[in-house]
Every structure is written in C-alpha cells, then in structure tokens.
Amino acid sequence: MTDYPQLNLLIGGEKLDGAGRDTQDVLDPSSGEVIAALPMASKEDLDNALDNAQAGFKSWRNTSADEREGILRKGAALIRERAKDIGAMLTREQGKPIQEAMGEMTYCAMLLEFYAGECKRTYGRTLVRPAGQRVEVRHEPIGAVAGFSAWNFPALNVMRKIGGPLAAGCSIIVKPSEETPAAGIAIVQCLLDAGVPGDACQVVFGVPDEVSRHLLGSSIIRKVTFTGSTAVGKHLAKLAAEDMKRATMELGGHGPVLIFNDADVDKALKVMAAAKYRNAGQVCVSPTRFLVEEDVFERFRDGFVDHAKGVKVGNGFDKDTQMGPMASGRGPDGIQAKIADATAKGAKLLAGGERIGNQGFFHQPTVLSEVPLDAEIMNEEPFGPVAMINPVTGYDAMIEEANRLPYGLAAYAWTQDAKRRMQLADDIEAGMVALNAATVSAADAPFGGVKWSGYGLEDGAEGVTACMVTKTVHEAI
Ligand code: NAD
C-alpha cells in the first residue's frame, strides 16, 4: 500500500488546495473507502485559468523548438524518475495491477519523448512560383486548448491531452477525471518542474458539465480534446461547434475480433484473452465481440473459458493479481445489468457473471456465448471484463458483423492467409486494425476512431498537427 497524496488544482503554477473551495471524495476502488478530498475549481478559479492560458499561449508559442524539445525531454525523464510513486497513486485510485500502472507510466514517458522530437518537425513548405512571387505554407499552434480525460488511464489519458498541444506550442487546461485525479496532477507537475511555464499547462477539477461549459464558453479556448463516452463526446462536439472550435474526440468502441478457421488458435487465445481482461476490460480498444469461424469455435470458446476462470482477481498491489477491481461502483452495476439482459435473451453464461465480495468494485472475468444481436451488450460498449463469443460462418458474414455497429475504434483479426489480411485491412471500418496481434497503440502511431468512435487523432505526428492551424502567406517581392 502507498500513501495517497494531498490533491490540488494547478493554476498559473500555483498549487491550490481545498481551503475555501467545495471538495469531492476520492474512493479506493478495492475497498470503497474515501482516500482523499479533491478541491473543485470555483468560477473565479476557472476564469483565472483562462486568463493564464491566454498569457501562457503567447509566451510558450514563442519559445524555440529546441527549447520546447529540451523541456519536454526533461519532463519525460522526471516521469521515469517518479514512475514508482505515480504508478502507486494510479493503482490506489483506479485499481489496476501495479505492473499495468508501471507500463502506463513508461508509455507516458515514451509518448512525451516522441512529442519532444516532433517540436522540430512541424514543417511548412514553399510553393513553386515565378520570380517575384512567394507562397509559403506554415503551421502555427492553434491557441489555448481545453482537455477533458477519463478515469481508465489516469496518467496516459492526461499525457495524451497535454503532449500534443505543448509540442505544438499551445497552452492547455486539462481536467483529469475527478475519480482518479492524483496521477494526472503528478504528470503535469513533472512538466512544470521540467520548465513548462505554470500558465502554459494547468489542472482544474469540478462538476464536469459545469467546467466544460465554462471553458468552452470562452473565446480564449480554441480547441477541445476529450476522452470518454460517445454520449458526452457528442454533447461537447455541439458546444465546440457553437464557437467553431476545433475538436478531437476519442470516444468509445466495441472491438470485433475475427478468428478465421486457419488462425493460430492457441496464440490467438493467449494474446486476446489477456487483452480482454487488461484493466478489467475498461479500455476503449478492448476486444469485445469475438466472432469465430465454426470449425474452430468450440476450441476457441473452451480455451477462453479456461483462461477466464484462471484469472487471478485481487487488490492491484498484490504481486500475483492479474485483474483489479473496476474503477467505480458504476462498473459492476452496469455489467450486471448487461449480463442479465443478455442471458434473459438467450445468451449462455460460461464463466463468471457475478460481483466478487461485498467490498470495493470487484467483478468476475466473464464469458458469454451465442449472444443474440439484440442483446444490449452486443450493441453498447460493455467497458468491463466480459467477452462475448459467437460462431460466424464465412468472410462476408464476419465483415458484416464487424461493421454492423456505429462504432469504429479498434478491430482485430487472426488468419494465416496473407491475402485475406490485406482484404481485411481494406474492409474493416475502424481507426486501428491489428492483424495477428493485440497491440493498436505506439507513441509514433496515430490513435483514434471513425464513426461514433470520434474524430481527430492523438499520438504520432498527427497528435501534434491536430493542435495546429495552417496559414498560407502569398507575397509579391
Ligand atoms: P463519461 O463519458 O460520462 O465520463 C468519462 C470522463 O468524461 C469522466 O472522467 C468524466 O468526468 C468526463 N465527463 C463527463 N461529462 C463531461 C462533460 N460534460 N464535460 C467534460 N467532461 C465530462 O463516461 P463514464 O460514465 O465514466 O463511463 C461510461 C462509458 O464511457 C463507458 O462505459 C465507456 O463506454 C465510455 N468511456 C470511454 C473511455 C475511452 O477511453 N474512450 C473512457 C471512459 C469511459
């Protein structure tokens, strides 16, 4: 166990505590106990943050690319140095096993290192023109950005919100999730300690809808970036549209996994079952709908059930824990309702299906099979430790089911046929496709979805250009 830190806002470089402010309890998901009081920003705090963001943009955009790169690299070094402490806060507030939290810390540092390099790579171009004329295309930082992130990756989601804007030369006000605030505050503190000015990167908390309306209601904010549900994403996209603000929306998914007859079934099982129960299934790219060709269906299903029954669930700080509690009480409640709906409609419950204990927010790793397409869980993102495994016959039927939903974030397929893999990459409607693999993110690769899974990209060079506007300068000499 670890000490959980005192929580604060970070406005204009100042740590502001709960004195004179409303506070909200933060819970330990493994016990349900209150572990801290989170200060909520007042309207004055938010106005103060906006004024700072405007001033911060003016100075940060004018730092040289070299200087920005150096500061971001130092921030990444501090994240690596403090990873053990921040990782422990993350496990305490979110529940995931400590090894997963440490992996998240490493990814934060790698992403920031990549973005540091991008500071110098936001190239413009000069167009070919006759003598006496010049046309220059240049990319400039968009302005102050407001970022709202979710509780499933308390550190990485915040890094994704702040890394691109800072590399581009923007200022950023980020609101991490009120349910998992400490890791995000600590990540931003690393950047401030590395030399990012206190008005260029700030942290606020509050009632989410009030904070986002307040910040998006200001003309100082030029872009919004959000990670969370499609419902809230649509709401924020409408608010952004009212003032023509740029938006990046990293929303939900419902990842199909296509297992063909010729797949390496043992490897697919091992890799995809581990991916399913990572972070208790609370991952936007989590594999959810397993579509398995009939010849290998029983083997795949039975192997998956064995894996699910063997997953060690427990406190994230216990060494042999493979899956922690869900992050909040909404998790097990939501999963229970969806499992009840699916079984009432005829789905077979083959593993799990129940909460664990009466303390904290634990839920069993669960497998449903032969789940009817009208079951809620086949249409709404489960966001929990539940796999649905259905038999499907033939390529066309696999693609039809994979593309049936309005979501299009991550999709997975397993086949040894190289020609079919190329066809799959063409036919699947998703922002990211993994073939014979479960990994869909890397610091230098764009991350984002299509359809209801959102628009705009994070990570990769695209994560920086998403925070820039293009200006064309026509000149007669
Ligand atoms: P949610 O969308 O209500 O909340 C997600 C985050 O957005 C939270 O941290 C919340 O504080 C913040 N938020 C909520 N309303 C906001 C607003 N009006 N303005 C600004 N920020 C706001 O989702 P939830 O209830 O926490 O989870 C429900 C579903 O959301 C999940 O089942 C899943 O489908 C989806 N989700 C997706 C991701 C992702 O990584 N894409 C992450 C978390 C949740």
Give the pLDDT confidence of 35-84 residue by residue, as tens digits: 999 999 999 999 999 999 999 999 999 999 999 999 999 999 999 999 99
Q: What is the pLDDT of residue 278?
A: 98
296: which residues sit within 8 A by CB, 6+ positions away? 259, 260, 261, 263, 265
Centre of ligand 1 to C-alpha 474, Å, is 44
Catalytic residue among 250, 381, 429, 458, which? 250
- What tokens appear for 103 in the block? 């992996």
pLDDT of residue 345: 98
Q: How remote is the CA of residue 282 from the centroid of ligand 1, in Å? A: 11
CA of 445 to the centre of ligand 1 (A): 24
Share of the chain above pLDDT 90, in %: 99
Task: Tell me which residue has its CA closest to atom 28 in ligand 1.
Answer: 229
Length of the chain: 477
Query: Please, which residues bridge with residue 100 across strands?
Result: none
pTM (global) more than 0.85: yes
Contacts of 63 (CB under 8 A, 6+ apart): 71, 169
Q: Which residues surround ligand 1 with Cβ inside 6 Å?
A: 148, 150-152, 177-178, 208-209, 212, 227-229, 232, 235-236, 250-252, 284, 330, 381, 383
For ligand 1, atom 35: residue with the closest CA: 229
Q: How far apart are CA 402 and CA 406, in angstroms?
A: 10
Over residues 156-176, the pLDDT tens digits come to: 999 999 999 999 999 999 999
Using the atom order of ligand 1, give the atom closest to the CA of residue 453. Answer: 41
DSSP-derived secondary structure letter, 102: H
What is the DSSP-derived secondary structure letter of residue 349?
E
Catalytic annotation on 250?
A: yes
In this prediction, residues 390-407 reach a mean pLDDT of 97
Q: Is pLDDT of 2 > 80?
A: no
Is the pLDDT at 1 greater than 60, yes or no?
A: no
Which atom of ligand 1 is the closest one to the Cα of 380? 34
User: Do the strands 34-39 and 125-127 form a parallel or antiparallel pair, or are they unpaired?
Assistant: unpaired
Q: List the residue whose alpha carbon is closest to atom 20 of ligand 1.
A: 208
Q: Whose CA is nearest to atom 29 of ligand 1?
A: 229
Return d(Cα 281, Cα 100) in angstroms, integer.
13
pLDDT > 80? residue 346: yes
3-state secondary structure 43-91: HHHHHHHHHHHHHHHHHHCCCCHHHHHHHHHHHHHHHHHCHHHHHHHHH
Contact 198, 10 (CB under 8 A): yes
Measure the CA–CA gap between 315 and 116, rounded to whole angstroms. 35
Give CA–CA dist 170/140, Å, rounded: 9
Contact 389, 367 (CB under 8 A): yes
In order of 5, 10, 172, 189, 472, the CA distances from 184 in angstroms are 12, 11, 13, 9, 37
Q: What would the mean pLDDT of 127-153 be, rounded to a whole number?
A: 97
Mean residue pLDDT of the chain comes to 97
- 3 pLDDT band (50/70/90 cuts)? confident
Residue 247 pLDDT > 60: yes
Residue 477: what pLDDT? 87
Q: How far apart are CA 85 and CA 404, in angstroms?
A: 43
Catalytic annotation present for 284: yes
Among 158, 175, 211, 232, say which to mutate for ligand 1: greatest number of ligand atoms within 8 Å of CB: 232
Q: What is the mean pLDDT of residues 362-370?
A: 98
Select which of 93, 284, 293, 429 is catalytic. Answer: 284
* CA separation for the pair 285, 448 (Å, rounded): 10
